[in-house]
Structure 1
Amino acid sequence: MSEQVSFMAEYGARLADNGYAVIPIMPGAKLPGRLSGGEWTPYPDWTRHADRPSKPFEIDIWRRWPECGVGIACGAIVGLDIDVTDAALAIQLTELATEMLGDTPCMRIGQAPKRLLVYRAEATFAGRKRHPLEVLARGQQFVAHAIHPGTGQPYTWPQDNLLDVPLASLPSITEEQALAWLDRAYALIPADRRPRTLMADSAPPGTWQGPSDPRGTFAAIEAALRFIPNEDLDGASWITMGAAIKAALGEEGRQLWLDWSRQSSKSGVSGKGDTPERRWAALRPHSIGAGSIYAMAIDRGWVPPPEITLNAAAAERAAQPHPAAGLLAKAANTNASPAPAPPPYRVPPQLLEVDGALKMFIDYATSTAVSPQPFLALGAGLCLIGAAAGRRYRTPTDLRSNVYAIGIADSGGGKDHARRCAKRVLHAAGLERYLGGEDFASSAGLLSSLQLHPARLFLLDEFGQFVKLVLGPRAPFHKAAIWSELTKLYTSAAEPYIGAEYADQKSRPRVTIEQPCACLWGVTVPGPFWAALEGGAMADGSLARFLVFLTDDDYPERSERPAPMDPPADLVAALKAIAAGAAGHDYGGNLAAIMEPNAAIRPYTVPLSGEAEAAMASVWRDATDRLRSHRGTHATALFGRHAENAAKLAMLVAISRDPGSPVIEARDVSWAASLVEHCISTMLREADRRVADTPAEGRVKKVLEVIRAAGRINRSQFARKTQSLTKRERDEAVALLLESKQIELMEVPNTKGPPTGWLTFASSLEGSTDAAA
């Protein structure tokens, strides 16, 4: 990993936990940015974070970016930016804010005496700017932690900072209060420190980072010009504005130009022939346009209303019917605030709110377990239903019901119970032919199993050891080929799988399987599984096909009287109905031959409701946005399957609810997208904690996990738990973690001898001053 400091790695997650909308900041700048292909570029759509909390997987990606700063998207919070270099005046304006708005504990200093005061908005509102003062609000941002580009030093918080003060604890203000302060504060600014010319505060040439399209919209240009009065400006400013309007609107802007020109008392009285009409005809604009007008207006206090589109191309796109119009209209009519992101590793309870056969299976697996694991039961249930629905159903885009998933829990945590329940249900339903083997001896064995029955559920124990075996650098060929075949089978579910060709066709004929449906549920303890992923398995895309179900409780409360293991009759009947397929559908021949490996079949297409179509279109767009945002990172392999997996799971819950005539509803799409996002977040978080690119990095992560698990640990206990490392390796890892402030060394007084040294995990340091037992 890079040794360059990342403010995001140190502060991002803690700020998000305190309720702030976190965004990445480009090194050496004050702009939101993103790292792609080793290069930083502006982050054009960062404003979406103003309306929702940053998600854990986003911060997990950003924290890997070297030198990544931390910004805060305004909306829920408001920043009063006092951009004055007179120390006495800066203090006076700060005191005015305290008098009018209350005393905020959070003040940020970038280049003293300039400062920014942080408040909480009672209701979101748009910001205002009256240079050199600005109220930063919805749609704007400020830097919280980074290197200031002017001073070369980190931003500072002289008093409390946002790491110490949760969002709810900041003093709240209204829009009226903020603007009243701005009016009174601006009156204190000396006249010689206010903007005096049209272009005084506009960005210098070459600094514009936005789209190159110079065109604007009539409504936006008209609104912006109200903030740029023509107060007898000089000729250069007059011509500049004319060129900008013409570039932005073409001939449609002529009347705006004429009206703006005639605001000047000099208009029409000079006796010269250079009238606004003649000048307009002569203008040949270049290197200027709508962006220049917007910048000048914003410098003078204009805040673009959210209902006005600024860019002409965006307005043209918006005029087209939106594929998610119905769903978006419903979303716009709700006043509910977005729910805060769940704490790390906690399973959102709504993911377990399912119905039909899936709910029956979860209830069966949890009621009969000594150590109930409902989230693992959900994963096993999806694979079970996926196998039973194999070759019977498909989505409108021809995705099938094949699912690969992994259940992860510690030893003794009940991870194997749902696997056993799936076997019992299939046997009780007379569908034991759907069961594949519980281990793969070779790739040929895997294919032979699917030739006997092309829809199979493979239930693998110790899956981490299996992955380590097939992905290891010394894996035998027949074992390594298993992983390759699983990858091919996953992508061949909608078409014939055609195996390898051999010279001796008599003894080794080519394997052909029409539309195979291989479902896999593997269970594992964490250690071997994450260790198996070192060396590139995260980046090659093969693991992206797997949904990771990590329990949020390795040792749940034991059930003293679990129910009998006999599968309930309603669950057995539901599984039989799924295996029978859609009512009245013509699959293309004799029903008994549908499971022949080479049978030509036509699965039932599960339709989407109108709202579900809009919701699914939104999921695909969101997946594309994430791929673009994280281009060049291993996260793209996971996001590349995000929408596909969501579509499959939405189909499965629809089948689970009504196998005879399933219809995918919008709620199915929303649930499936949430589950896939949770699984991806889990993969990214755990990989960052446990998967190392080098042996040295692996040692550091191992040491950190030992200290993290303990909270704090003394030297002798630490040595025992890391005895696989040499003293030098152990000391080097500790030194790196101390230097990066992920752990601390605490000296605890000892009445019987010298102080005892304790290593303490950083997140457990707050308020921890008591002596160890």
Structure 2
Amino acid sequence: MTSTSFMADYGERLVDNGYPVIPIMPGSKVPGRFGGGEWSPYPDWTRHCDRPTKPFEIDIWRRWPGCGVGIATGAVVGIDLDILDGALAIQLGELATTLLGDTPCLRIGRAPKRLLVYRAAGPFAGRKRHPLELLARGQQFVAYAVHPDTGQPYDWPEESLLDVPLAKLPAVDEAACLAFLEAAWRVLPDEVRVTSILASAPSSTWRGPSDPKGTREALAASLAYLPNDDLPGNEWITVGAAIKAALGEEGRDLWLEWSRQSRKSGQSGRTDTPERRWASLRPHSVGAGSIYWLAEQRGWVPDPMLTLNGTVAEQAARPHPAAGLLAKAAAAPLPAPPQPRPYRVPPEVLEVDGALRLFLDYAIRSAVSPQPFLALGAAICLVGAVAGRRYRTPTDLRSNVYAIGIADSGGGKDHARRCVKRALYATGLDRYLGGEDLASSAGLLTSLQRHPARLFQVDEFGQFLKLVLAPRAPAHKAAIWAELTKLYTSAAEPYIGAEYADQKARPRVTIEQPCACLWGVTVPGPFWSALEGGALADGSMARFLVFLTEEDYPERNEAPAAMDPPPDLVAALQGIARGVPGHSHGGNLADAMESSAPIHAYTVPLTAEAEAAMVRVRREATELLRAHRGTYATALFGRYAENAAKLAMLAAVSRDPARPVTEARDVTWASRLVEHCIATLLREAERRVSDNDTEAKHKRLLEIIRDGGRQSRSDVTRRSQFLSRREREEILASLVEAGLVVAEQEPGTTKPTTFYTAVTPSRPPLFTRGTR
């Protein structure tokens, strides 16, 4: 089956090669997004110029019909030669090779026009001297799509970006690129050169809805890139008409200010010419988009915080009349994607130091089936509990962490849990261990009253979830989940429990700044089925970091080390338990903790670079919330920045508990880990979690076909005995019609045999275990 989406075919390979990818609307060169059954422009695509594309973004875009692939420039540089003279185009390409280096990546759209791809030594703005353009930070080019003029796919006649990683492209800097642009301009014949701001604009570049309105802030910013250097009268009038269409009478002062930049202003003897012209302007077929487009050709990169469309700005100021309906539509399940590979654990998230590193090494060396990623999850919860009530971020977040480790039976998921217990007993900190089974909410609170910083390690956490989240769960079990949710948000303040009529028998529970950490381990099946009750939609699972192993059955360690915790790990944990020397916590916390003791946690400062990194994380979290408004994903992205800040602080405490300082590398590590955990939960939930029984059966049968590879009808039947014959036939027909499964017939001895195969992307595997 041939894919109709360039993004599905090539997106993941390009990201793996280091390129920042963006979606392109079919039949255009414009970044777009798909929703509500139709394409529309993607207004915030420029943010991809400054960061790598994320795996879950490709997972979303690959489902969009006909989605093309664009490359956001910044780290990538494009030299666009918009020349229809074949000999001249070749000459300029050779000039680029001489001045900038020989790049193997040449893209042809409408021959002989061509684009050469380089790597930026550092970020710089693009330039345009029509018909030449330097595409740099804040711009983009189409890499894989159907060209709107030729109707044919873009061609890479030599090597393509699929073959050449970004790091292998020749590096260029701004000075070299500008030198090429100047040298190439001198080569151009006079009849090819264009100096007008309008001459390079196609007669019709827009195929979407027409809305001339803009915002004053965006118009002012874009006009700064359109200097009025004695432009011809018709162009002066066109810009004025576009401003008037965009802002109405509110744009008059912008027009007057822009007009007076010209040396012609006031030279006609009528000093009020701009004023008179404004009154006579009758705009048509131009608007804010005209100004924005012209400014972008000259290097303007709209600030992501700017709202460009005036109508959108007006609508954003009032509640949408169909907000409820839109939320329901956005929450509708997306079509199932082609079979994804499990997310690999990024190697950099295992690059920790201090107590985290020491525990990780201890758990790996002593394991028969080493699970480094699960050991990292247990280590974070361990350090979070021991650091409880002693440290805080500048925004008053604490070290309480909830995390879940997922692996198949026999895969070594329990080993890190055992290592945690041994480490706490060896350090004399066993009072930090809570029970391994949460029998009731009252038991949970009683445990924290005895010691308000505790780590609860729960085995078979999936079964526990199914029990507490079941529609008819016993009241004392259902209350556990509610208490865990409340405790998570009460770490920086007193937790005040419920009031009962009989205060003697059931006195109110009050705990000052409780630090409850939870590390649960589970096999996949019960965990994902437990989430079908709505735990994703209500946001309760957003508090958990999900650590899913990439290898259920790792290579065995035939000579594991002893289970005794090493002395340096013991000393590191004891150092965290002592806290910051000289800092008054409001009580002698080094020896014991009282649940009612007033606490003054030490504020872990951030370096200037770390604070700037956290600002970027918070901004990205806001962008993700806006992009996924109305879906259950917003609950997960709503905790993105919070969890990143917590983990960054824990990294600093792990490294130096006596004088912790959060550094930029801590924020980078933490945000990457949280991002991976969120992406894992989103992908696996889409594959495994169903809203109803019918959807569950569809997903289960699809997983059977995926797991078994190419299978005969009898094999599928044998493995899906939970379905009736009629259900099986209907689901198979639905999967084939949706393009998720291919049915093929082969001649048999008596009758043809039907084979079923799950559809996979038409590309070779990109990842192997342990490599990227």
TM-score range, shorter chain: 0.7 to 0.9
Output the aligned Cα RMSD: 4.8
The alpha-carbon distance between structure 1 residues 241 and 565, as it changes in their structure 2 partners (threshold 3 A), is closer
Partner deviation per Cα, 1:616-668 (whole Å, 9 max, x = no partner): 22222222222222222222111111111111111111111122222212211
Instruction: Tell whether the 8 Å contact from 2:219 to 2:288 is kept in structure 1 after alignment.
Output: no
Partner deviation per Cα, 1:324-353 (whole Å, 9 max, x = no partner): xxxxxxxxxxxxxxxxxx985111111111
Residue among 618, 623, 631 paired with 1:620: 618
Tell me whether 730-739 or 577-586 shows the greater mean CA deviation.
730-739
Instruction: Tell whether the 8 Å contact from 2:349 to 2:669 is kept in structure 1 after alignment.
Output: yes
2:755 corresponds in structure 1 to 758
Instruction: Tell whether the 8 Å contact from 2:388 to 2:453 is kept in structure 1 after alignment.
Output: yes
Residue among 137, 154, 157 paired with 2:153: 157
Q: CA deviation at 1:16?
A: 4.3
1:593-632 matched pairs, under 5 angstroms: 595-632=593-630
Letter in structure 2 aligned against 1:229: L
C-alpha separation in 2, matches of 1:579 and 1:403: 17
- Other structure's SS at 2:606 match: coil
Instruction: Tell whether the 8 Å contact from 1:11 to 1:70 is kept in structure 2 after alignment.
Output: no
Letter in structure 2 aligned against 1:225: N
1:56 corresponds in structure 2 to 55
2:542 corresponds in structure 1 to 544
Partner deviation per Cα, 1:703-755 (whole Å, 9 max, x = no partner): 232233333333333323322222333333333333333332345677x7766
The alpha-carbon distance between structure 1 residues 457 and 162, as it changes in their structure 2 partners (threshold 3 A), is farther
C-alpha separation in 1, matches of 2:472 and 2:456: 25
Instruction: Tell whether the 8 Å contact from 1:216 to 1:310 is kept in structure 2 after alignment.
Output: no
Q: CA deviation at 1:558?
A: 0.3
Partner deviation per Cα, 1:3-60 (whole Å, 9 max, x = no partner): xx98866775466457654334568987544578999864322012234442112233
Residue among 360, 374, 377 paired with 2:375: 377
Residue identity (%): 54
Q: CA deviation at 1:671?
A: 1.1
C-alpha separation in 2, matches of 1:558 and 1:656: 29
1:87 corresponds in structure 2 to none
C-alpha separation in 1, matches of 2:191 and 2:48: 34
Instruction: Tell whether the 8 Å contact from 2:127 to 2:298 is kept in structure 1 after alignment.
Output: no
Instruction: Tell whether the 8 Å contact from 1:390 to 1:400 is kept in structure 2 after alignment.
Output: yes
1:47 corresponds in structure 2 to 46
1:547-626 matched pairs, under 5 angstroms: 547-591=545-589, 595-626=593-624
Residue among 229, 241, 256 paired with 2:261: 256
2:532 corresponds in structure 1 to 534
2:421 corresponds in structure 1 to 423
Residue among 324, 331, 356 paired with 1:358: 356
Partner deviation per Cα, 1:111-156 (whole Å, 9 max, x = no partner): xxx899775512468475869x9897764446788999x99xx976
- Other structure's SS at 1:370 match: coil
Instruction: Tell whether the 8 Å contact from 1:12 to 1:70 is kept in structure 2 after alignment.
Output: no
* Residue 491, structure 1, aligned to residue 495, structure 2: no
C-alpha separation in 1, matches of 2:305 and 2:374: 48
C-alpha separation in 2, matches of 1:516 and 1:393: 13
TM-score of the aligned structures, taking structure 1 as reference length? 0.77
Instruction: Tell whether the 8 Å contact from 1:366 to 1:374 is kept in structure 2 after alignment.
Output: yes
1:235-246 matched pairs, under 5 angstroms: 240=241
Unaligned runs of at least 5 residues, structure 1: 83-89, 109-113, 315-341, 769-773
The alpha-carbon distance between structure 1 residues 69 and 438, as it changes in their structure 2 partners (threshold 3 A), is same
2:405 corresponds in structure 1 to 407
C-alpha separation in 2, matches of 1:632 and 1:415: 35
* Residue 225, structure 1, aligned to residue 231, structure 2: no
- Other structure's SS at 2:224 match: helix
C-alpha separation in 2, matches of 1:688 and 1:727: 26
Instruction: Tell whether the 8 Å contact from 1:394 to 1:401 is kept in structure 2 after alignment.
Output: yes
* Residue 304, structure 1, aligned to residue 321, structure 2: no
Instruction: Tell whether the 8 Å contact from 1:12 to 1:63 is kept in structure 2 after alignment.
Output: yes
C-alpha separation in 1, matches of 2:186 and 2:742: 47
2:290 corresponds in structure 1 to 295
Partner deviation per Cα, 1:581-602 (whole Å, 9 max, x = no partner): 2112212134478511111121
TM-score of the aligned structures, taking structure 2 as reference length? 0.77
Instruction: Tell whether the 8 Å contact from 1:93 to 1:185 is kept in structure 2 after alignment.
Output: no
C-alpha separation in 2, matches of 1:453 and 1:33: 54
Residue among 701, 704, 707 paired with 2:705: 707
C-alpha separation in 1, matches of 2:296 and 2:649: 48
C-alpha separation in 1, matches of 2:305 and 2:373: 46
Letter in structure 2 aligned against 1:606: V
C-alpha separation in 2, matches of 1:216 and 1:49: 24
C-alpha separation in 2, matches of 1:759 and 1:180: 59
1:168 corresponds in structure 2 to 164
Matched residue count: 700
- Other structure's SS at 1:122 match: strand
The alpha-carbon distance between structure 1 residues 146 and 247, as it changes in their structure 2 partners (threshold 3 A), is farther
Tell me whether 117-126 or 399-408 shows the greater mean CA deviation.
117-126
C-alpha separation in 2, matches of 1:764 and 1:35: 20
C-alpha separation in 2, matches of 1:508 and 1:386: 30
Q: CA deviation at 1:499?
A: 1.2
The alpha-carbon distance between structure 1 residues 292 and 521, as it changes in their structure 2 partners (threshold 3 A), is same
* Residue 445, structure 1, aligned to residue 448, structure 2: no
Letter in structure 1 aligned against 2:46: T
The alpha-carbon distance between structure 1 residues 161 and 679, as it changes in their structure 2 partners (threshold 3 A), is farther
Letter in structure 1 aligned against 2:118: E
The alpha-carbon distance between structure 1 residues 606 and 167, as it changes in their structure 2 partners (threshold 3 A), is same
1:500 corresponds in structure 2 to 498
C-alpha separation in 2, matches of 1:99 and 1:135: 17
Instruction: Tell whether the 8 Å contact from 1:127 to 1:134 is kept in structure 2 after alignment.
Output: yes
Q: CA deviation at 1:477?
A: 2.0
Tell me whether 360-369 or 758-767 shows the greater mean CA deviation.
758-767
C-alpha separation in 2, matches of 1:544 and 1:748: 48
Residue among 637, 649, 659 paired with 1:661: 659
- Other structure's SS at 1:405 match: strand
1:687 corresponds in structure 2 to 685
1:280 corresponds in structure 2 to 274
Instruction: Tell whether the 8 Å contact from 1:544 to 1:638 is kept in structure 2 after alignment.
Output: yes
C-alpha separation in 1, matches of 2:407 and 2:480: 24
C-alpha separation in 1, matches of 2:238 and 2:508: 78
1:23 corresponds in structure 2 to 22
Instruction: Tell whether the 8 Å contact from 1:358 to 1:381 is kept in structure 2 after alignment.
Output: yes
C-alpha separation in 2, matches of 1:295 and 1:582: 59
Instruction: Tell whether the 8 Å contact from 2:242 to 2:283 is kept in structure 1 after alignment.
Output: no
2:474 corresponds in structure 1 to 476
Instruction: Tell whether the 8 Å contact from 1:216 to 1:312 is kept in structure 2 after alignment.
Output: no
C-alpha separation in 1, matches of 2:716 and 2:12: 26
C-alpha separation in 1, matches of 2:555 and 2:676: 24
Instruction: Tell whether the 8 Å contact from 2:404 to 2:545 is kept in structure 1 after alignment.
Output: yes
Q: CA deviation at 1:761?
A: 3.2
Tell me whether 633-642 or 697-706 shows the greater mean CA deviation.
697-706
Q: CA deviation at 1:280?
A: 2.8
Letter in structure 2 aligned against 1:55: K
2:314 corresponds in structure 1 to none
C-alpha separation in 1, matches of 2:304 and 2:404: 47
Partner deviation per Cα, 1:258-297 (whole Å, 9 max, x = no partner): x2568xxxx74xxxx6x3x2213445579989x9698369
- Other structure's SS at 1:618 match: helix
Q: CA deviation at 1:541?
A: 1.3
- Other structure's SS at 1:523 match: strand
1:122 corresponds in structure 2 to 118
The alpha-carbon distance between structure 1 residues 762 and 542, as it changes in their structure 2 partners (threshold 3 A), is same
C-alpha separation in 1, matches of 2:90 and 2:505: 87
- Other structure's SS at 1:607 match: coil
- Other structure's SS at 2:701 match: helix
